[in-house]
Every structure is written in C-alpha cells, then in structure tokens.
Structure 1
C-alpha cells in the first residue's frame, strides 16, 4: 500500500475555487484503478493550506493516475491557484 500526501498552499481568495475542483473530482479519483482512498485535510493554523491524503495499491497505480487525462485536468486547474510550490511525499506503511 502506497500513501501519498500532497501539501498545497493557495492564494487565500482562491480556496473556494480549489474546494469546488476537489468536490467535483474526488469521486472520479477514488474510482481510478488502484486508488483505495482520497481525503482532504485543512491546516489547523493556516486555512489556505490543504493536503490530500490518498492510498494506492502501488506506485505504478499512482503513476498511471498521474499520467491520466483526469490528473492533467485536475492538476492544471489546481496549480493555477497556488501561492507557493506544493510538496509531495510517497510513503509505504511499515509493520513493526
């Protein structure tokens, strides 16, 4: 299982536009092959900072999504609203 976290900082006046993009695309992302979960988190102290938390079967599944037309449309619209460079992490769960 691959865990993907993407932290995004938006122009404060553009957060409503981002939320609309997320609302209209989240079910399509969740339905993408290999995606098990997608959720949106908002920073407690910085209301214009959001993170997506998603679970994927593998890095290959994530990369297939990232190479898809859906991702191209969603990411193009989303990145136009950024006020800072996004940060992304891919992690695997460790059993201890």
Structure 2
C-alpha cells in the first residue's frame, strides 16, 4: 500500500487502534505490518488465515468495510492484495 506522504502517520495511528481487532478476528492466526526499507510511504500487511473461507469472511465483514473505508482515501496509488501458498520452507 502506497500512502500519501502526509497520510502515513494517520494510517499508522489507525492500524495501532485496529490491529488487535483484525488479529482477533475468527481465523486470523498471524498479523504483521511491514514498511518498505527504501520508501517510508509503502506498507504491507502480512497475515496468516486458517483457511481462504476465514479470510473471505473477514473480507466481507463490517470490520473490513470499516477499515477499508478509512484506509482507502489515504492511498497515493492503487493497491494490490493477493494470497500465496508456501511452496517450500528451508
């Protein structure tokens, strides 16, 4: 997620307020917020869900709609979301 420079702290403050709600959502096993090492306006949320069904339940929840409605206007560029499957752990 790339944020408008003057909206970064707004995002960070809001994430601090909602992170436990997201992490406590049924099926969420892990949640991290990462910041790009070279561009302080870029963040990534990294989460583990018990199943795709749990993730989709979150994506259709009132909590997600609230988070998205607050966060979306802060973006400076179109964002992307995707799911991955582990191929190998070394």
Shorter-chain TM range is over 0.9
1:64 equivalent in alignment to 2:49: no
Residue 43 of structure 1: aligned partner:
36
1:80 equivalent in alignment to 2:73: yes
Distance 2:88 2:45 in 1: 23
Relative contact order (alpha carbons < 8 A, sep ≥ 6): 1 or 2 greater? 1
Q: Mind listing any 5+ residue stretches in structure 2 that lack a counterpart? A: none
Cα RMSD over matched residues? Answer: 1.0
More helix per residue: 2
More strand per residue: 1
2:45 to 40, 52, 55: 52
TM-score for both structures, normalised by structure 1: 0.89
Structure 1 residue 94 displacement after superposition: 2.3
Moved over 4 A (4+): none
Structure 1 residue 95 displacement after superposition: 4.1
Residue 10 of structure 1: aligned partner:
3
